[in-house]
């Protein structure tokens, strides 16, 4: 692992596949021009709309999303995480799938979101992700990269389940991806503190791409895509508009924090 710049992209995705991919391409280009070598796209980066519209277009969304990530990675010679898009499973449902792609356009890792967002939010909105999404059955993977470090995958609601990140840290994760479309209501109270907790307790970097603003009807997200260091310090915050959070991933900082706070070595219950 060497020092490099990482980027967490922030979007306001809408129910328009082509428009979203065009916005994502612009933001990837912006991140690359600022020197980013590892780039994360948020959950639902390619489509964020009503469930029936998503399901009607699921096959096209899946194909175009995967093709897009591979094309962008190869064109810009960077590693990209597509933070979550629907992949049909053949029974009228989809997996909420995150795919990590390397600089030559090859798939490095894939994760199907295991924790589904079935929640009655206190602002009056109800979310039932399980109506259209099938929960993944496998714990998320860690991809070992010689240059970029050990990259652990997760998606959005996973952030509330620390045991998933403990699994990733036990697998050697040094950078935790947490792409999200966090609701505006819960985000204002919980988003940053949860990200910092996952960074601190696992002494790992957190790369958290995000959705922001109003997407359709009542759907509004919190924004604040972030990069957080292993001490819990927020290195970059994209605010509440579409854009990019960029910060350095420093192996020397990772080693320093893990040496000063060796909590991973002090675990008793494994």
| Residues with catalytic roles | 43, 113, 156
Q: Give the ranges where the chain is alpha helix by DSSP (H).
A: 17-33, 51-56, 58-76, 162-170, 184-201, 251-260
Say which residues have a Cβ less than 8 Å from residue 80's Cβ, sequence separation at least 6: 28, 39, 40, 41, 69, 72, 73, 100, 101
DSSP letter for 231, please. T
Our measurement of the distance from residue 249's CA atom to the centroid of its chain's CA atoms, rounded to an integer in Å, reads 16
Cβ proximity of 164 and 178 under 8 Å: no
Cβ neighbours around 105 below 10 Å, total? 16
Q: What's the chain's length in residues?
A: 270
Measured CA to CA, the distance from residue 24 to residue 251 in angstroms comes to: 28
CB 54 within 8 A of CB 86: yes
151, burial (CB in 10 Å: exposed 0-12, middle 13-18, buried 19+): buried
| Cα–Cα dist 109/91, whole Å | 24
Number of other residues whose CB lies within 10 A of the CB of residue 62? 19
> From CA 70, how far away is CA 106, in angstroms rounded?
7
């Amino acid at each position: 692992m060497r020092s490099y710049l990482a980027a967490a992209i922030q979007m306001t995705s809408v129910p328009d596949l082509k428009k979203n991919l065009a916005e994502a391409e612009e933001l990837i280009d912006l991140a690359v021009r600022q020197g980013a070598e590892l780039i994360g796209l948020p959950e639902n980066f390619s489509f964020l709309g009503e469930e029936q519209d998503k399901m009607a277009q699921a096959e096209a969304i899946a194909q175009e999303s995967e093709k897009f990530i591979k094309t962008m990675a190869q064109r810009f010679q960077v590693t990209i995480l597509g933070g979550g898009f629907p992949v049909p499973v053949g029974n009228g449902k989809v997996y909420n799938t995150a795919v990590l792609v390397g600089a030559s356009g090859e798939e490095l890792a894939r994760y199907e979101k295991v924790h589904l967002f079935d929640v009655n939010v206190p602002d009056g909105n109800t979310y039932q992700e399980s109506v259209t999404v099938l929960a993944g059955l496998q714990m998320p993977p860690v991809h070992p990269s010689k240059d970029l470090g050990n990259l652990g995958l997760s998606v959005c609601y996973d952030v509330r389940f620390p045991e998933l990140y403990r699994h990733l840290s036990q697998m050697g994760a040094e950078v935790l991806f947490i792409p999200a479309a966090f609701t505006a209501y819960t985000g204002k109270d919980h988003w940053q503190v949860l990200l910092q907790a996952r960074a601190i307790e696992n002494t790992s970097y957190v790369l958290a791409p995000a959705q922001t603003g109003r997407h359709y009807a009542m759907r509004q997200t919190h924004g604040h895509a972030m990069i957080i260091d292993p001490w819990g310090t927020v290195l970059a915050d994209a605010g509440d508009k579409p854009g990019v959070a960029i910060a350095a991933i420093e192996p020397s900082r990772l080693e320093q924090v893990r040496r000063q706070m060796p909590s991973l070595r002090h675990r008793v219950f494994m």
